[in-house]
Structure 1
Amino acid sequence: MKGQSIKLGISIGDLNGIGGEVVLRTFEDARMLDFCTPVIFASAKTISFLLKHFNLDINFQGVKSADKVIDGKINVVNVWKDNPRIHFGSETPEAGSYAIKSLKAAVSALKADEIDALVTAPINKANIQGDEFNFPGHTDYLNQELEGNSLMFMVSDKLKVGLLTDHVPVNEVTTKITSDLIKQKFKTIHHSLVQDFGVSKPKIAFLGINPHVGDNGVIGKEDDEILIPTLEELRDQGHLTYGPYAADSFFGSGNYKNFDAIIAAYHDQGLIPFKTLAFGKGVNYTAGLNKVRTSPDHGTAFEIAGKGTADINSFKEAVYKALDIYKKREEYAVLTENILQKQPRKKQYSGRSRGK
């Protein structure tokens, strides 16, 4: 990327939601082009409709494919030629279909290195389901398409929360949590903190699986039999792992401020406190992959779609975070390469013995 700005791909999300609005209003500020070259995957006709609807004065460049992007301009890749009807606030199969077309085109460009990072606008998990897309959401799809092991990592400047299980029904949570899963998720978050956020020796706290960490088995045995022994094993390996802590008091007491990241057992255990403390400034980051992807911490917000009142702060934070992480990864790659180059070369054994 020397001499060029970071090419930031953007999937448009559900056309009937607030995705188009928050994307375009974010880049209404021309100063955003000082940080990146946005590449929106939709169509010129769709973007023109949205600009007219929201009365936005933005110039963009329509291109046939992501490899034709013009640096320093707002680019719109024409993923479809037709002009889909937009029904703000409605959950329709058509909107879900176009959301998937945008996402697939953006991910394809990401895999081909035609864009450097990806920010995804919100989709609706119900109307995206079908033969072409059978995933609970972005994270699982990206895990299939990109190298690595994906992990939903909710991040803000002061709080980072990862999950052992994400879009899993509550009655299946304990069946999913194993020692191997805990180690895998810990490894992913630990590496992300080092590589993506520049934390040299991460301190990571775990929340208990059951209320009050199971109360010595009275309220569930999973903490005593699975989580606690695994954390002891990680500590024996020299990692700074703490807990497990009772989730009900951990955030209210401010204890979360003492750690670089917190790992919650399931979706609501981690996301309710995160969104309470960081809503509007939080970002959903998919850690553990070979590419950078972020998204805002909210959904399609059908109830306010099309009204021009959506808060753009979380989407803008998702843009900034994607750019920051991309740069951190470049710095980490250079640092790692320099360390490898400085390591002394091992002398090769010639295979000849010394004679007397």
Structure 2
Amino acid sequence: MKSAEKIKVGISIGDLNGIGSEVVLKTFEDARMLELCTPVIFASAKTITFIKKKLKLDINFQGVEEASQAIDGKINVVNVWKENVNINFGEEDKTAGHYAFLSLEAATKALKEGSIDILVTAPINKHTIQSEEFKFPGHTDYLAKELQGDSLMFMVTDNLKVGLLTDHVAVKDVASVITPQLIEKKINIIYTTLQQDFQVSQPKIAVLGINPHSGDNGVIGREDEEILKPTLEKIRNSGKLVFGPYSADSFFGSSNFKNFDAVVAAYHDQGLIPFKTLSFGNGVNFTAGLSKVRTSPDHGTAYEIAGKGEADFQSFKEAVFKGMDIFRNRQEYEELTQNVLKKQSKKI
């Protein structure tokens, strides 16, 4: 198993006009972080030097041409581009979006090739990053395509984990998107990730209703009665501990979430508003269902404070720690699975 000291943490720099670069560099300003992992930032030495001076950060780094050249015990910066970049903190522009994509593209390539072990993404602007190469609602869908997996947005802390049936889908389209097939697929992803990535042997999963009061027996919409409830019953009959649907308006306020290993929300705000209310600054966005580990902080570009040195880096730091924990848990799970298969083959 790979030791913690050797885990290479690849980092895409995000929107250069936002707080991404600040939270990344502040995280590794603490030299103790270099004893735990090897950071590999995908940007350029010129860009990181500018940001370091602008924010008066006490860090040293070394520039490398590719991630495979990264050295343990140092902050490594892969020179994805060589030219000077005009950084206008707090402004929304396509130039920043272009370089955010270049960083993400290079980091994803290194992840696929195994030059880095995990990927932690700094926030992008979902509008300015759009181009012929990037036509996705966000990181999750892009990585699902590149890593050829069924992805799921999974917001996690040690005490609360929330997965989404639909993520970046307009509210008017939510009900039409949710099908029995989608429900089964997403719950199966959550069940598997709880076992292999979070070491929960027999997960208990709660599912929130699609409509207010889970439809009130069909009075407020028929989706819960006709789609969600029969599908959950089918999943329960397969042996999985899946419960619900629960009325979303009281589920978190009553602390009912504490009785489960994960909660499945029907749509983005139904899950993320309570999650961020309860854990803002400590939450991590984990893309479950992929062959590689990707995490990110639970905040956006925060243009209003960009370049002022005011950004809180706790969520990004948590994303690094959570990514490493998941990486190690997955290695242990795979080793245990292989050992079980070997024992079974010997009996045969």
Q: What is the correspondence of 1:123-202 to structure 2 with a 5 Å cutoff?
A: 123-202=124-203
Whose Rg is larger?
1
Aligned partners of 2:346, 2:322: CA distance in 1, in Å?
Answer: 38
1:69 to partner: Cα distance = 1.1
State the AA in 2 paired with 1:156.
T
User: Aligned partners of 1:39 and 1:59: how far apart in 2?
Assistant: 13
> Are 1:152 and 1:286, in contact at CA under 8 Å, matched by a contact in 2?
yes
User: In the alignment, which residue of structure 2 is the partner of 1:300?
Assistant: 301
Identity percentage of aligned residues: 69
Amino acid at match of 1:288: G
Kindly indicate whether residue 209 of structure 2 is the aligned counterpart of residue 216 of structure 1: no
Indicate yes or no: 2:6 matched with 1:5: yes
Superposed displacement of residue 319, structure 1: 0.4
SS state of the match for residue 74, structure 2?
Answer: coil
1:284-333 deviations in Å (ceiling 9; x for gaps) = 00000000000000000000000000011100000000000000011111
Task: State the alpha-carbon separation in 2 of the partners of residues 327 and 286 from structure 1.
Answer: 16
CA distance in 2, matches of 1:345, 1:60: 51
Contact 1:139 1:286 (8 Å CA) reproduced = yes
Separation of aligned partners in 2, 1:43 and 1:120: 16
Cross-structure match for 2:42: 41
Q: CA deviation at 1:2?
A: 4.5
Q: Which whole-Å CA distance do the structure 1 matches of 2:66 and 2:249 have between them?
A: 49
**1:354 aligns to what?**
none
Paired residue total: 347
* Greater mean alpha carbon deviation, residues 235-244 or residues 2-11: 2-11
- Offset of residue 34 of structure 1: 1.1
**What's the RMSD between the two structures over aligned residues?**
1.0
Write the distance in 1 (CA, Å) between the matches of 2:254 and 2:241.
21
Other structure's SS at 2:150 match: strand
Evaluate the alpha carbon distance shift between residue 111 and residue 344 of structure 1 in structure 2; reply closer, same or farther with a 3 A threshold.
closer
Which residue number corresponds to residue 279 of structure 1? Answer: 280
Q: Does 1:120 align with 2:121?
A: yes
**Structure 1 residue runs of 4 or more that deviate by more than 2 Å after TM superposition:** 1-4, 344-347
How many Å separate the matches in 1 of 2:294 and 2:133? 21
- Whether 1:238 aligns to 2:239 is yes
Give the AA of the match of 1:142.
Answer: L
Query: One-letter code of the match for 2:224?
Result: D
> d(CA) in 2 for partners of 1:313 and 1:300?
15
SS in 1 for 2:336: helix
Q: CA deviation at 1:344?
A: 4.2
Q: Name the CA distance, whole Å, in 2 between partners of 1:265 and 1:78.
A: 41
Cα drift, residue 148 of structure 1:
1.9
TM-score, length of structure 1 as denominator length: 0.96
The whole-number CA distance in structure 2 between the counterparts of 1:182 and 1:344 is 34
Q: Is the 8 A contact 2:2 2:328 kept in 1?
A: no
The CA distance in 2 between the partners of 1:73 and 1:339, in whole Å, is 38
Cα drift, residue 147 of structure 1: 3.1
Q: Distance in 2 between matches of 1:56 and 1:237?
A: 54
- Using the alignment, how far apart are the partners of 2:160 and 2:252 within structure 1? 10
State the match for 1:80 in structure 2: 81
Query: Gapped runs of 5+ residues in structure 2?
Result: none
Distance 2:68 2:336 in 1: 29
Which stretch shows the higher mean deviation, 199-208 or 123-132? Answer: 123-132
* Offset, 1:57: 1.6
The whole-number CA distance in structure 2 between the counterparts of 1:2 and 1:301 is 35
The CA deviation at 1:73 is 1.1
Query: Residue 342 of structure 1 aligns to a residue in which SS?
Result: helix
CA contact (8 A) 1:5 1:72 kept: no
Partner letter of residue 96 of structure 1? G
Distance of 1:130 and 1:339 partners within structure 2: 47
- Equivalent position of 1:314 in the other structure: 315
Whole-Å Cα distance in 1 between the matches of residues 2 and 264 of structure 2? 36
